[in-house]
Structure 1
Amino acid sequence: MALARASNPYHSGPLSDHFDGTRFFNPDGSDPKGFGDLLRWQLGGGKAKWPDQVRSPHAPARPEPRVEGAALRITMVGHATLLIQTAGLNILTDPVWSERASPVSFAGPRRVTPPGIGFEDLPKIDLVLLSHNHYDHLDVATLKRLQQAHDPLVITPLGNDAIVRSEVPGMRFATGDWGDVRHAGPLAVHFEPCHHWSARGMNDRSMALWAAFVVEGPAGKLLHVGDTGFDGGRPYRGVREKHGDLRAAILPVGAYEPRWFMKDQHQNPQEAIEGLLLCGARWAVGHHWGTFQLTNEGRDAPPAVLHAALEAKGLGRERFRPLSPGEAWDIPD
């Protein structure tokens, strides 16, 4: 069996249909844009002006210590960080409490909306689902705080553990490839393909894997997608073929403009609705909007576009809710 070359500092393992020995890739998919396209976007104008700060009417939330059995409660913290409570376990997705989504503290996208749950108000965190290593999803400073205060198990795709271990040596990890399953108490966490990429710097593009998760337990099945391009609907069709109908899906709805640059890696609200329908989820939570300005659209554009697209499809707003920080939703059974 062929093994990875030594040029990848994060992962060494067998070649596969999405790992060439050095880098991961999207099979039959699109590569991320290059530096020239990045400059074209950054110098092209068209970026909406965001407010300096927005206070959510729902924050700060103070969650209950546990939600038991088949109940399923989801509380928005901000961007891609959500608290999932079910089966007596508390799960955080892509936790970021830092002021910037950036490798440095003095530059980069600044938080516009405070976290919907104060870090000190978190219930005991058992699990972290870490989808990939971009700075708006993998925040080492927050992971260090979580390890010290909660010692959670971090479930993450291949290679991301190596990024964190050097700075948080006591962190516990369960890593996996697409198609793998990891167990935590009554829950099974399935690693599923999505269409994205990864990087922490200039020389490590796509050297750590990205993934979506299906969390299976007493509440049924919940799909969580941190980031994805729509990719013709392939990620969603694959989930439904494998898992059947889902109780709910947590789907990104922001960071999508300009489309010529973002389309391959970030779906827009219309595509998120198509994804909801393709994966067969009864309910959906929209995230990845309103906290950090990463792209050109206005802060409030994603929920407005989502609501209009739901209406155009004849779907009620209650089926797909773009939660604001601090807002909690008890997902119907």
Structure 2
Amino acid sequence: MPLRNDVIPLVKEPRPPPQAPRPWILPSLFAAFNVVLLLVFSGLFFAFPCRWLAQNGEWAFPIITGPLFVLTFFSLVSLNFSDPGILHQGSNEQGPTAVHVIWVNHKAFRLQWCPKCCFHRPPRTHHCRFCNVCVEDFDHHCKWVNNCIGHRNFRFFMLLVLSLCLYSGAVLVTCLIFLLRTTPQTLYLDKVIAIVVAVPAACFLVPLCLLLLIQALSVSAAERSCEGQCRYLWGYNPFDQGCASNWYLAICAPLGPKYMAKAVWLQRVVEPDWVLMQNLHCPMCPSALTPSAVPGPASGPQPQPLALHRPGNAPPGSGEAAALQELPAGPVLPRPREAPR
């Protein structure tokens, strides 16, 4: 059959060779060291400056700093062992033989194939090179806790940053008040420990406040840290539902079931001989495809219907895989392959 100018043959892409797993001992030890560091400095703080203030009638300082320490420790440990929103791995027998497009606020996104997890990733789902998993609504990988920050633990991350800011500020103020109250006294050990505790609290307070401000602005605009260098080409963010709705989705919305299997159900393995590719845009950019604009196949077996997605009552952008709804419309576009020489 002669080749046409507007058709391209199709082949399966070769799978990349398996890579050796990254060492996990050092990141895990670093995360455990951060927990121990928090316990050590907090123990010194409550044993010396805070104890002296409480013994002299200043009970407001342990009453304020105590619950803040409990909240900080709880959020830190919870973030270390939380599930960021890991998606199920697909079957090894499946491959990137089809193009899947889903719609978010009247804009089309082409699902990217993950060669390591073997399924097409929903929007805002990325593969973490440190954890070697695909995380739903991926924001970044936090080395301080050795865990990804995604859909299911983003609220724990915000709680940790907020509690660290409040706890560091309270510790710094308490140590400064203790040093001022004990100026005429000769409490050398207590003063040295108060300075040792106040210095790291002051050093961490400024970057933590900046991080909290940046994350608050990102949540208000429904942006993610990993998307900082990839802005939307059409001039607006389709995941932005307004400041109040964005905060509700990030902090208060139900998380849904774990390990969204519908992200894998979107796959359809088809292998037609030829397909028109003239209206298929760059795979790394959101495409403005519509079901009526996609041309049909020139020959070969008919492709299966495309699984389209429209968000339900909950707006997209937070837990996108949880709101996937399959609607039959339009054809599946397989990926192009090189013509036989």
What is the TM-score when the length of structure 1 is the normalising length? 0.25
The structure showing larger relative contact order (alpha-carbon pairs under 8 Å, at least 6 residues apart) is: 2
Give the structure with the higher percent strand.
Answer: 1
Which structure has the larger Rg over C-alpha atoms?
2
TM-score by length of 2: 0.25
